[in-house]
Chain A
């Protein structure tokens, strides 16, 4: 069982991700943020629950929906927002944007705009850890859409035969863009596919923070102990569209309403209040603190310089 202090930190981290995404949604709608944005709203418990078990030396690879992974791995609002605005001060100097955000100092090997594109990269981080005989682990986050990509299957097999210290985390929100998972996928629980590759697969409800904690804890320990990979399938209610601006004509409205009715953040807040670990005033204080940090970060990002067009082909190669 996680301690109260741990759950408080968990709650605050989820709230940080949610409030960041809500702010990004508002700022994006103003029209001066370039590119495509996919928010992590509704999945917060997954990034928080997994990444709280990791430190800066551990590796993660992320997806096009990667802001939550960044925040949970310790990226700052300032550096992330500057990147989203395409500024020279951004994490990737404005060359990547939302879908290609990365922070190598924190083991964050990049968001990835190719579905399934980051899975083998995390396995490479795990292979580096194993080759160096370190106790680092790697986590590959991917969505249900990636579970039918060949590279996931190739990588699950390799991770199993080499006992790589790798955790596969499938964020199953039931939809690959406009296609329901029940249509696209041959099993009702994606975690079952791990069994075909000889390792454990766990299905958890991503609206239950404690369940995510338990699964993450066992998978990370297994990897650190040299006992090989685990697949965690976190079932998420998709509370928002595929991307910011998605009219979602393909999805019955009641499904969205249903998804929004199971929200891990107020659920955990209620639990913490019931156990006297948190008060309404405490929540209000946390939100004020996060809002102050967001205000400062948005101003910093907006005031930061844009890259110069003259530098367009600089930095393609390493020295």
Chain B
């Protein structure tokens, strides 16, 4: 391996690179969102100094100019709608929704417009649109800044839903999302921005709809979503001390979803545990459990099990927030229970 291939960077930098490279490759790719530059209209050292609430879009205004990097007022519905219209008119907008908890303000534009236009207009519309957003608990951001919400959008036909679990995946999956001809909701867990990973230089894509086998094992299949992949890996280390070999699958994308990889894993392990940082009802964990129970019933030696958040909003206080997020201990004890069953 060359020096360059072993480059270690943060999730925030990996996402920035994916956007930058796509904008360099394609002049129709544009960026729209609140505070994506900062100091809008001031020029000089102030304009562009912020580069998004998490610094992810820093340097892009400088490189691509204000026609392609548009800082916006706080108007989520109009921002999303303008992105949908611009994509129908041939651009490839990337909309920064800032936090997934803000998407409800733009829900009509996502649900009734972006998602349905292709089908409802008999195939005339092509909506190459990406809505990026931060999500997830762990920062003490509480009720209105921490929701994952990907389950809600997975329910909607016409949308694609992407949930990267590492900086390397984030770069390749975001580039694929930008090049995709459909509306894609791209969920960046807060924990991803500071995470360090080996990320190749230059452009690459990972296909939407292909799961990643994170770790091989023979005793239990753990399907883990987004930041839960890291927790599953920690749990697997503990389980290995008991002689339990966990296989970890990261779906990477929830719509489309790669059930084949999961079924193949269950055929090998006979046990399924799903770990999802979402409330449990009508969730992606419920969906995966139902589908895999139908598809792989004959191979399951134990009941399908899920670890999710409780059915509550995300709380502020540290002991409450840590009780909210699925823990390594929960994964370990549930997996042990399934393997002893």
Report which A residues bind B (CB closer than 8 A): 59, 61, 90-96, 100, 102-105, 109-110, 112, 114, 117-131, 138, 150-151, 154-155, 157-158, 161-162, 313, 315-319
Are A120 and B122 closer than 8 Å at their CB atoms? no
Are A128 and B89 closer than 8 Å at their CB atoms? yes
Are A316 and B84 closer than 8 Å at their CB atoms? no
Report which B residues bind A (CB closer than 8 A): 30, 67-68, 70, 72-73, 75, 77-91, 93, 108-109, 112-113, 117-128, 157-158, 160, 181-182
Are A103 and B124 closer than 8 Å at their CB atoms? yes
Are B158 and A96 closer than 8 Å at their CB atoms? no
Give the residues in chain A near B91, CB-CB below 8 Å.
127-128, 131
Give the residues in chain A near B87, CB-CB below 8 Å.
124
Known contacts A109-B85, A157-B75; is-contact A319 B181 (Cβ 8 Å) = yes
Give the residues in chain B near A318, CB-CB below 8 Å.
118, 126-128, 181-182
Q: Main SS of the interface on chain B?
A: mixed
Give the residues in chain B near A315, CB-CB below 8 Å.
118-119, 122-123
Tell me, rounded to whole Å, the shortest Cβ–Cβ distance linking A284 to chain B.
37
Q: How far is the CA of A94 from the CA of B187 in the complex (A)?
A: 34
Q: Give B82's nearest chain A residue, CB to CB.
A: A124
Are B89 and A110 closer than 8 Å at their CB atoms? no
Q: Give B91's nearest chain A residue, CB to CB.
A: A128
Tell me, rounded to whole Å, the shortest Cβ–Cβ distance linking B124 to chain A.
4
10 tightest Cβ-Cβ pairs between the two chains A and B: A124-B85, A120-B81, A93-B122, A154-B78, A92-B122, A121-B85, A128-B89, A154-B75, A318-B181, A124-B86
Are B182 and A317 closer than 8 Å at their CB atoms? yes
With beta carbons under 8 angstroms apart, the residue of B68, B121, B124 that contacts A131 is B68
Q: How far is the CA of A124 from the CA of B77 in the complex (A)?
A: 12
Are B78 and A151 closer than 8 Å at their CB atoms? yes
Known contacts A130-B67, A150-B77; is-contact A120 B84 (Cβ 8 Å) = yes
Give the residues in chain B near A119, CB-CB below 8 Å.
81
Known contacts A124-B81, A151-B81, A158-B75; is-contact A102 B182 (Cβ 8 Å) = no
Are A124 and B84 closer than 8 Å at their CB atoms? yes
Give the residues in chain A near B88, CB-CB below 8 Å.
104, 109, 121, 124-125
Are A92 and B120 closer than 8 Å at their CB atoms? yes
Are A123 and B85 closer than 8 Å at their CB atoms? yes
